[in-house]
Amino acid sequence: MIVRILHEGQYELGADSLTRLYKLDEDLMEAVAAGDEFAFVARRDALIGLVRAEGQAGAGHGLRGSGPALPFTFDNPDFTSGSLRGTAVLRWEYRPGSTRGYITAPRWGEITSAP
């Protein structure tokens, strides 16, 4: 598996490291869900430390497949979400050299989220 660390580069991890990587990732997501910043930082550092210690730095610079994607599920699959935002510009030249225009854009206070 190729793992990229922002502003640092990429590492290639062997299959023997993946179980520990997935466990650390699950722990990290639990800290995010709990809103625990201190646990998040500690678990993030542990995950990055594993990648640095067990990964091969600079490996796999080319694009290639790393296997099938892991399956995922939603906690609540019965949801809907929608959004439409836009800006409109209308310009009308009613005589050569004379124009009328109308510009509209949503204001932040007017944008509401779906229930």
Condensed to tens digits (0 to 9), the pLDDT of residues 73-101 reads 667 666 666 666 677 777 777 777 777 77
Question: Is residue 59 pLDDT above 70, yes or no?
Answer: no
Residue 17 lies in a domain: yes
Residue 51 lies in a domain: yes
Condensed to tens digits (0 to 9), the pLDDT of residues 2-27 reads 888 877 888 888 888 989 999 999 99
The domain containing residue 38 runs over which residues?
2-57
Axis-axis angle for helices 15-34, 37-54 (nearest 10):
170
Q: What's the DSSP call for residue 75?
A: S
pLDDT at 54: 92
pTM given for the model: 0.51
Residue 39 lies in a domain: yes
Considering Cα of 61, then 62, then 66, then 68, what sign does the dihedral take? positive
Count: domains in the chain: 1
Residue 108 lies in a domain: no
Residue 85 lies in a domain: no
